[in-house]
């Protein structure tokens, strides 16, 4: 007979969202059961944010060596030992893993169960030989790489973000299908580490971002030797290991074209993990492939919540670790303390960690004009920043969308460290502030952060041309 547990909270999935829910609840002394079928830390630690940023860091170091001559430092072309690069990536994962380990969470008071979890009815989950009847359940099962239905794909070996970090030999020529954040980041990293790279994208690069800002990243990739092919249609894939062939449809009156490579990486998005959970038995609805939730992340079963990548309800385009952690806080407030809380994605940041980075919050220009009509646009180039000139990192600019009364509708930054530079804009928007709030801040000199102030000060220029204000200044001068 299966053991029966009756905790206050059962969390299914030990990725970022699930771990956050379990940790917060345990800190309040709440009995928590955490069920994970695979590796603690989920995608972020093992196959996502952590390994990808470690690989990017290796690529940054190689590129810094190539660019050292501009600073008067002559060094030869870097020699990349790809097996040691992989060891670096694995070392970073290993150094962070204890924070997400079963041992750490057990020490917090969380009961960790390593097993498949499945609902057997609306209030019972079965995990191995244990049954769990919790007061509330939280689904945090994450997502997996989406595999597109391309003819011939099943006949050749391919990589995803879950397997690309296992490579210990540098690809000779890497074909990446998909020009989203994963494709752009890994494409640049692999190119900087010495691989030839071609990115194939059906639409445009970084389609969810403002095209003006995405173009900054595109130019950087091309300048470093990435072959960027946008607006292409893949007819089929063939070949064999080490000799992959991707056939592209030709235009009107044109013959198909074949792109050859040694390795193939799919970077075509992610799909929520919802299979095998017994959702139907629990009365939990699935919509467009994700778990349907309301504004407070509750599913169609009032006892069950969903957070992170597996949740739908308008969160589908926000599959970020920081979004999952944000969801965790909402669920804890609602499930444990019965406090009102709902998702507000208006100030959810998004960052692509290329070089330059591309960070954004709020609306794009197209979205802002569609919703608000007249929109003022403020821009300031990174090249006008003294620190950027000193470090020779002058690519990119700030773009701010301003509505009535100086309200900030959105901000995008393409620059080195843009993911950090976006934070003041997020705070201003969260507090319903205006662009004047940024203009009136004192930023330390010389820092890249000053580009935000310079962009904001652009909003004051029309006032400087006001005849009334010029007249007032002249009158005050006359009065001494």
| Annotated binding residues for NAD(+) | 178-185, 201, 269
Q: Are 128 and 116 in contact (CB under 8 A)?
A: yes
C-alpha span between 342 and 35 (Å, rounded): 25
- Reference 378, options 412, 355, 420; nearest CA is 412
Q: Hey, what are 77's tokens?
A: 């072309």
Q: Give the whole-angstrom CA distance, residue 106 versus residue 36.
A: 13
| φ, ψ (nearest 5 deg) of residue 332 | -60, -45
- In DSSP notation, 391-434 reads HT----EEEEEE-GGGBEEEEEEEETTHHHHTHHHHHHHHTT-B
Alpha carbon 146 to its chain centroid, in Å, reads 16
Alpha carbon 299 to its chain's center = 24
The per-residue b/e assignment along 247-285, b for 16 or more CB within 10 angstroms, e otherwise, is: bbeeeeeeeeeebebbbbbbbbbbbbbbeebebeebbbe
Nearest to 171 by CA among 86, 288, 275, 258: 86
Exposed, middle or buried by CB within 10 Å (0-12, 13-18, 19+), for 156? middle
Strands 270-272 vs 143-145: parallel, antiparallel or unpaired: antiparallel
Extract the annotated binding site for FAD: 53, 141-143, 309
Report in angstroms the alpha-carbon separations of 154 from 147, 149, 237.
10, 9, 9
Q: Are 159 and 263 in contact (CB under 8 A)?
A: yes
Give the separation between CA 417 and CA 393, rounded to whole angstroms.
10
> Is the separation of the CB atoms in 474 and 400 below 8 Å?
no
| Alpha helices, H only, 247-298 | 279-282
Rg (CA), the chain: 25
Annotated binding residues, written as ranges, equal 53, 141-143, 178-185, 201, 269, 309
């Amino acid at each position: 007979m299966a053991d029966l547990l009756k905790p206050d909270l059962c969390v299914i999935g030990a990725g970022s969202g699930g771990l956050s829910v379990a940790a917060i609840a345990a800190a309040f002394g709440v009995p928590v059961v955490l069920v994970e079928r695979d590796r603690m830390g989920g995608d972020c630690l093992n196959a996502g944010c952590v390994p990808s940023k470690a690989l990017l860091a290796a690529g940054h170091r190689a590129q810094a060596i190539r660019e050292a001559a501009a600073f008067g430092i002559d060094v030869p072309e870097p020699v990349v030992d790809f097996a040691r690069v992989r060891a670096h990536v694995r070392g970073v994962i290993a150094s962070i893993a204890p924070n997400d380990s079963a041992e750490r969470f057990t020490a917090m008071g969380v009961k960790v169960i390593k097993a498949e979890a499945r609902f057997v009815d609306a209030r019972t989950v079965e995990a191995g030989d244990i049954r769990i009847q919790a007061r509330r359940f939280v689904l945090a099962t994450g997502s997996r790489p989406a595999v597109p239905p391309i003819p011939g794909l099943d006949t050749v070996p391919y990589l995803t973000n879950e397997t690309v970090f296992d490579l210990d030999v540098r690809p000779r020529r890497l074909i990446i299908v998909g020009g989203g954040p994963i494709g752009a980041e890994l494409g640049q990293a692999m190119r900087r580490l010495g691989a030839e790279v071609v990115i194939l994208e059906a639409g445009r690069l970084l389609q969810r971002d403002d095209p003006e800002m995405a173009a900054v990243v595109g130019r950087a990739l091309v300048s470093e030797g990435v072959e960027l092919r946008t607006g292409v249609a893949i007819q089929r894939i063939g070949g064999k290991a080490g000799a992959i062939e991707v056939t592209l449809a030709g235009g009107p009156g044109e013959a198909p074209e074949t792109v050859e490579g040694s390795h193939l990486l799919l970077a075509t998005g992610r799909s929520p993990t919802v299979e095998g959970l017994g959702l139907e038995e629990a009365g939990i609805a699935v919509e467009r492939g994700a778990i349907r939730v309301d504004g407070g992340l509750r599913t169609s079963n009032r006892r069950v919540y969903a957070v992170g990548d597996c949740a739908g309800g308008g969160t589908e385009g926000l599959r970020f670790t920081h979004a999952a952690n944000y969801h965790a806080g909402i669920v804890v407030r609602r499930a444990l303390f019965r406090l009102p809380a709902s998702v507000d994605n208006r100030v959810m940041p998004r960052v692509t960690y290329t070089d330059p980075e591309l960070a954004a919050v709020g609306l794009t220009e197209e979205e802002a004009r569609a919703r608000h009509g007249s929109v003022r646009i403020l821009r300031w180039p990174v090249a006008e920043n003294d620190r950027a000139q000193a470090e020779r990192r002058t690519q990119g600019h700030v773009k701010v969308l301003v509505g009535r009364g100086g309200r900030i509708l959105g901000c995008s930054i393409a620059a080195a460290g843009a993911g950090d530079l976006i934070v003041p804009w997020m705070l201003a928007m969260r507090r319903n502030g205006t662009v004047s709030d940024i203009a009136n801040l004192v930023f330390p000199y010389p820092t890249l952060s000053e580009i935000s102030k310079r962009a904001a000060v652009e909003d004051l220029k029309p006032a400087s041309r006001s005849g009334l204000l010029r007249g007032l200044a002249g009158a005050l001068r006359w009065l001494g």
